[in-house]
Structure 1
Amino acid sequence: MGQWLTNLRRPDGLGKDPERAARRAEQLVAIDPDWNPGQLGWTVDWQRHWAGLRVLVAGGAGLEEITPGVTHRGDDIGRWLARQVRDWAQLNPEQQHRLDELSVKPAVRPQKTAARANTKAGAAKDSDAFTRGVAALAQYIAREGTTVVSRSHVERLPDGTEHRTGVWAANQRARRDRLDTAQLTALAALGIDWAT
């Protein structure tokens, strides 16, 4: 489906006959007005991250919880959100409007580590461990096409380190009553049924 849409978004992707192309475009707009984000002034990547942010917020995550490392379907929504807040002036008015509808506001002043400055070292360490686990699990799911991971599975991350993803996933399930909303949302976004 993604490749088909990519092909349609290309020049003459809807056909060389202008009337037929216009009819096809109308049909696609009827399904999704945002089907061709390039015509709206942003990339497919921006739209995918924005849609991920909407899912996290709709799932109950507060914006303050969506920090770098919080993912949705493998995309680091927290990192993307921090860039939007920081680079607000570079966004077009419609992008700003869409973010504003989700209560996202421009940064008053650049603060790279403000969130961590007020966090205890132990909580930051736990958050980093969770983020690494989500990244490892997302990589595994993308490759294997399943959320079922054996307890003994070890995932090799892009930085060359190894992550005991099977043990980590089993621990998250066993401790699910101690996970916060953002963590449960991140796992649910990967298709983990017990996190919903």
Structure 2
Amino acid sequence: MWAKNARAAARRARENDELREAGRPVPSAAGAMTEARRDELDAIDPGWCPAWDTGWQRCYRLAQNHIQAGGTLPTATGEVMVQGEDLGRWVSAQRYGWEQLMPVQQWILENTLTITPAEDNERPVKRTQDDKWALNLAAARQFHTREGHLRVPRKHTEHLETAGALPGRQNGTDEPMVVKLGTWLDNTRKRAAKLPEQRRADLDALGMRW
């Protein structure tokens, strides 16, 4: 109960600070925690009253508990699932989205989970429209080779085994890439009239149903 009340008081103080910064009147300071008290609690646990969403805090706590229980920090999607949360995916999102995190979030990740921002050579290469077409076409060809047709359900996703050799994969990784093939084919049909002749021919060769 004390922690709940303390968080409510801290949030009230934070809201008042935001009003002052915006030059707007503060209705009342009653029930708001003092800055000195907030600093004391922040020194004990910087995440005791997070300004970020509860989903981020939940994944952080799950990752922290996983490590404290003797586990290792996951680095790949699907490597560790805890209570329905993909911790590997979450860790990757923090590293690649480091610049969007608050300074205190960065501090917490570095000092409690030893998570650091991704280096430039780790980041995926930005794909051009031609790269994206090549990726989806490769997925279509893989599906056709395996199934003998291109009648792909809209919700089907194709795990492209040869994605490492395609543009947009950093360091030629061999990890399969998940391609939303059904959605791509459906969208391609809708813009069939605008497709270049060669692209349409590539899909015709696979028995594309327009």
Superposition TM-score, scaled by structure 2 size: 0.38
> Greater share of helix residues, 1 or 2?
1
Superposition TM-score, scaled by structure 1 size: 0.40
Higher relative contact order (CA 8 A, sep 6+): 1
